Amino acid sequence: MRILITAGPTREPIDAVRFISNRSSGKMGIAIAEAAVSAGHDVTLLLGPVMVHASLHDTMRVYRFGSSAELKQLLEAHFHDCDVLVMAAAVADYRMERAVEGKIKREGGADRDADLTLRLQPTPDLVAAVASTKRAEQKVVAFALEESAELEARAVAKMKRKGVDAVVANPLGTMDGEHVTAVWLLADGGREEPGRMTKPDFAAWLVGRLSGL
């Protein structure tokens, strides 16, 4: 299969030196990409601003992005060529209405501790946008990161709202961690819970499920 994978956070600029982001390490998406290559699949990885601690497999195509706007452009360029999209990237929920040119200055004197208000707007829903354009034979897998008490309910709601074929539902502790305790949920009502696993082990397990879509 031709598998397109996104991984890592986005950075939404505030000014020339500051940004809005999250704690995503990209480990899960990278592990999925490596497992897919090892399983013989054709892999394209869209990778956010994270440090890669080991060499990625040399048969994998890798494109880097910073902001959600840059990821959107890469998805538009590469989605039509894939059979399955695994959307493991953690896209920031908000961005500046307009990034400040140059650097916001913290002035001295009496106003040094004055409040600063940032006007934010929601980032585009990249998963829903891509899913709305998919061909009948294409499949889209999303990720959901939620509080444990409402994990599955919110993940199922997300799957229906975004029109994707499956969701990997993760509790909050997964982010930036070494292990994952995920639930695999399908649009047809299927459900699997493989238990606590390292991210590379879960990645191999997940890649094995992609063919079943």
Q: Residue 178 has which token pair?
A: 């070494």
Q: What is the pLDDT at residue 98?
A: 95
Q: What is the pLDDT at residue 112?
A: 63
Give the residue ranges of the chain where pLDDT is below 70. Answer: 107-113
What domains are defined for the chain?
2-99+116-210 (3.40.50.10300)
Q: Residue 210 has which token pair?
A: 């992609």
Provide the 3-class DSSP secondary structure of residue 141: strand
Instruction: Please provide the distance, in angstroms rounded to a whole number, between the alpha carbons at the two ends of the chain.
Output: 11
Per-residue model confidence as pLDDT tens digits over 3-31: 999 999 999 999 999 999 999 999 999 99
Which of 22, 56, 176, 213 is catalytic? The answer is 22
Q: Which residues contact 187 (CB under 8 A, 6 or more apart)?
A: 159, 160, 164, 165, 166
* Sign of the torsion formed by the C-alpha atoms of 22, 27, 33 and 36: negative
Does residue 170 have an active-site annotation? no
pTM for this model (two decimals)? 0.93
